[in-house]
Structure 1
Amino acid sequence: MTTWDDGSRPVVKPFGIMGWLRCILRVAAMAVIIFGLMGPMVLLRVLGFAAAAQWCVGLACRGVLRVIGLPVIPKGSPMQYGGAVVANHCSWLDIFTLNAVQEVLFVAKAEVQHWPLIGIIARSVGTIFIERRTSHAARHTNLVKDYIVQGHRLLFFPEGTSTDGQRVLPFRSTLFAAFIEPDLKDRLWVQPVTLNYIAPDGEDPRFYGWWGDTAFAPDLFRVLAQRRQGRIEAVFHPPIQAATVKCRKDMARLCETAVRSGLHDPL
């Protein structure tokens, strides 16, 4: 698994006493929201009420973003079809952002389940963890296919790594294979989504970017210490019907083009 890094990162400013106080208060509020809803959400999932469980997930994510002070502005409409949503990967905030505006089930790299806080959240909401290795491609395709057949709408990041949020890396086509299976493609759609992170006034445009090898905790505190936040724009592009695409590489290319077209585009 490779991570993206262009060799240049924003300068991290000292937090100060007030910054650390904001961190403490926001972490406490986030913990109340997340763990307060986690019990009911897990119970609902065990009892088979998947839709209600996902509603709890969305409610928790909207609450966390409100605590952080980071508004999400949707542009376009989330699709109602079965299939998948794909987006550019900018930040650990992506999981909260995309769950706040639609009901999806995440497909994430295996390392995520061991991250502090995020790992607990990811496991509890039913995230599908995969090893991003070529040798596991067939296994991943079958796993994704099983979830699709069960009626889940999946979400994954085809870039395979997070960036500074100022670019879209080439999309990997492996996970698209399940969506062009002959017995499934007639009823599946894939919706590209562009995430635009607008930095707080006076901050580096890459403020919310998350380089692949950056430790989670320091980056979490850096964002939570910020007094005034920026905003997130989620641009929903027209869904692509799987039946109209010949192969997984074509689907990856179409989605990549759509996502790139919406980067910092005031639709």
Structure 2
Amino acid sequence: MTWSAKQYSMFENQRTRPVRDLVAAIPTRRVRVAVDLGCGPGNSTEVLLQRFPDATVTGVDNSDDMLAAARKRLPGIDFELANIDAWNPDKQFDVILANASLQWLPDHAVLYPRLAGKLAGGGSFAVQTPDNLQEPAHILARETALNGPWAAKIGTVRHPERHSAGFYYELLRPHCGMVDVWRTTYFHPLPGPAAVVEWFKGSALRPYLAPLNDTEKAKFLDRYLAAITRAYPALADGTVLLPFPRLFIVAVR
């Protein structure tokens, strides 16, 4: 299941806004070493570097395509090919940023404390994850997967791990002196329901589309588009407002 930097970056301004809000909320002032886990095409890394221009910033991702885009965008930054669940450097960080990446990984009860343990004293662990599994776009993806000739292939796709705000607060509080958790719903204006499909082709639809052949993909997307068109009615000018809830965490060690 590969990532496409081009597909993901089609809605870069909308996807970058949450990480701007997240990085702005980091209270750590003296930042010498920072890392962006799941840096993608480098848009989040750029936000981190803008906030902390004197820091040594590293980006980490498991996609060669994403890293190629990130290196082109920020040629002076060190980008590393690695899986976050195996990332275990022998040093501490003043900021660990994980923007829309940790939801793809399992065992959050182990993962989050392990990552927070890589913080230096006073360092910040800043996380943003989509909190939209009960939004129509996700519900319709699951229904489309279950109710088509492809059900045997994708009807049991594992959904990204998500938990409540209380879960993450209780999980991180024993390891950090301060934990701040909040939820924001963004309303992204998109040019019609087809754009909603294009948005999720770059993220949530990837596990559904990857096992399908080209014919099945086309039929799946046609059926999904029809459902999205009904669920997200366009405004008078043709715009669709896509509600997108996201969960934010800033934990300070």
Q: Same fold (TM over 0.5)?
A: no
TM range (shorter): 0.3 to 0.5
Q: Which is richer in strand?
A: 2
TM-score between the two structures when normalised by the length of structure 1: 0.36
TM-score between the two structures when normalised by the length of structure 2: 0.37
Task: Using CA pairs under 8 Å that are at least 6 residues apart, name the structure with larger relative contact order, 1 or 2.
Answer: 1
